[in-house]
Amino acid sequence: MEFKLRAWQTDDINSLVKYADNLKIAKNLTNHFPHPYSIESGKGFIENANKAKPARIFAISVDGEAVGAIGVHPQEDIFSKNAEMGYWLAEPFWGKGIMTKAVLEMVDYGFKTFEINRIFARPFGTNTGSQKVLEKAGFTFEAKFEKTIYKYGVYLDELVYAIRKA
């Protein structure tokens, strides 16, 4: 399925709220991603996503509609040569190969745009879909931290996957 990574636009608010307001998505993300997902949450997200220059967070667009997000976030201090990647995709688009391709595109963008040599992601141990995406995109499993995430009253494992600049 064809998609495009592009800047967030204020008129993406309705599709953002429509697709982000899904417990199956929220349960695999930090608490900065609220559930339920409101118009106010969406407006704040879009405003924040468009602040950074160069851009760090993009909309995943299918047929002009924002159906997910992906970002790469350079770290600071002694971790300054690293960036964390985060992403989500609307449930109707799962299993269509979009996210693996979006991750690959974002890795290329990250290494070309920022002075980094490693991009990492930290999926929850229960999020096998995200783990498979990262593996297909060439990320290497680096670590497992047992029961370090506390989400919705349950302790979950945190996994670390990374890819290094060639």
Q: What is the CATH number of the domain that holds 82?
A: 3.40.630.30
**Residue 72: which domain range?**
4-117
The interaxial angle of helices 39-49 and 13-20, nearest 10 deg, is 120
Is residue 43 a part of any domain in this protein? yes
Question: Over the chain (166 residues), what is each successive 10-residue block's mean pLDDT?
Answer: 96 98 97 96 97 97 98 98 98 97 98 98 98 98 98 98 96
Count of beta carbons in the 10 Å neighbourhood of residue 45: 22
pTM: 0.96
Is residue 133 a part of any domain in this protein? no
pLDDT, residue 1, reads 86
Q: Structurally, how many domains does the chain consist of?
A: 1
pLDDT, residue 75, reads 98
Is residue 126 a part of any domain in this protein? no
Is residue 137 a part of any domain in this protein? no
Is residue 154 a part of any domain in this protein? no
- 155 three-class SS: strand
Please measure the distance between the N-terminal and C-terminal CA atoms of the chain and give it in whole angstroms: 28
